[in-house]
Amino acid sequence: MKIKRLRNILKNFKGRKILVIGDIILDEYIFGKVSRISPEAPVPVVEVQSCNYLPGGAAYVATHINNLGGNVYLTGIIGDDKYGDEICKSLQNGNISIDGLIKDFERPTILKTRVIAQHQQVVRIDYEKKSHITKGIMERILNYVNNVIKEIEVVVISDYGKGVVIPSLIKKVIKLAHRFSKPIIVDPKPTYCLLYKGVTVITPNTAEAGASVGKVISNEKILIKVGKELLKRLNAKCVLITRGEDGMSLFEKGKEVVHIPTYAKEVYDVTGAGDTVVSILALSLAGGASIIDSAYLANIAAGIVVGKLGTAKVTLEEIKQALNEK
């Protein structure tokens, strides 16, 4: 029975060793209330009540994997600033090693500030520099990957299009992973999507998948065409297209397309859904699960996350409870 298999997959999460490479972001949440409109401009005045920081981007993937029992190895860049220090502190508080974090003195730590009032996001402010990392920084990232590649079980590439995941790095990481027979899971951006040739699983959303091959996915027929084209052009084992409220569609070599309906009961915030998917896929595949079972489990976890506000985490207990309800 599938539910029993999915429960057994969860038991294998503990201690799985996952390498995460990508754009490290600090998410700032400012919570407040609105009771009036500014006299200076037609905008709400937010009276701040609280503020907190959470690791975002590749760092969110790392905390997610760690929270579910995995042993995570994280590499990427931070700036030489208080926000970089905040990321380091947060990761260390969660017992995540910061050995792979590299300070880039030429750019700030990426900061995304979200102002939320009455459970609604009022505005998001991004502080970032998107230029490509230097050759020297790239070599330091690769040196870290070289040092841990034998220990880890799965490689996750978390591309937010902020300048860390560049073509030269992509090629070398994939080559290394192949040399040591490590599965590769990619959460891509359309810019470099077609460079991920030979990966195990790639997880674009519908917009990213369509943009990668110059199409707009407006119906199921186009969706299937795009999925099959990506599968062929990337020579990947699987393409998992995430479709928001319509669930996911799994394209696997030599098999029929599998459409997985969404688990979400209510959608409050899609922030972190894609990161949740790659986190669950990585832990499941590291534990020996099939891609189809891994995708079903990832779909359930993502459905839980979108029912929460902000960069939320899902727990093993929540996933177990969701399985009990099926």
Tens of pLDDT, residues 257-291: 999 987 755 554 455 678 899 999 999 999 999 99
Task: Provide the 3-class DSSP secondary structure of residue 263.
Answer: coil
Query: What's 198's domain CATH number?
Result: 3.40.1190.20
Tens of pLDDT, residues 38-84: 999 999 999 999 999 999 999 999 999 999 999 999 999 999 999 99
Confidence of residue 123 (pLDDT cuts 50, 70, 90): very high
Active site (annotated) includes residue 99: no
Q: Print the domain residue range for 164.
A: 2-25+56-107+129-324
Question: Inter-axis angle of helices 2-11 and 291-305, to 10 degrees?
Answer: 80
Q: What angle do CA 239, 9, 61 make, to 5 degrees?
A: 60
**Is residue 36 one of the residues assigned to a domain?**
no
Q: Please say whether the beta carbons of 205 and 274 come within 8 A.
A: yes
* Count of the separate structural domains present in the chain: 1
Q: Please say whether the beta carbons of 311 and 272 come within 8 A.
A: yes
**Is residue 84 one of the residues assigned to a domain?**
yes
Q: What is the pLDDT of residue 261?
A: 86
User: Residues 27, 159, 187, 275: which is the catalytic one?
Assistant: 275
Confidence of residue 307 (pLDDT cuts 50, 70, 90): low
Q: Please say whether the beta carbons of 263 and 322 come within 8 A.
A: yes
* Distance of alpha carbon 175 from alpha carbon 65, whole angstroms: 24
**Is residue 60 one of the residues assigned to a domain?**
yes
**Is residue 261 one of the residues assigned to a domain?**
yes
Residues 6+ apart with CB under 8 A from 276: 64, 298, 301, 302, 305, 314
**Is residue 40 one of the residues assigned to a domain?**
no
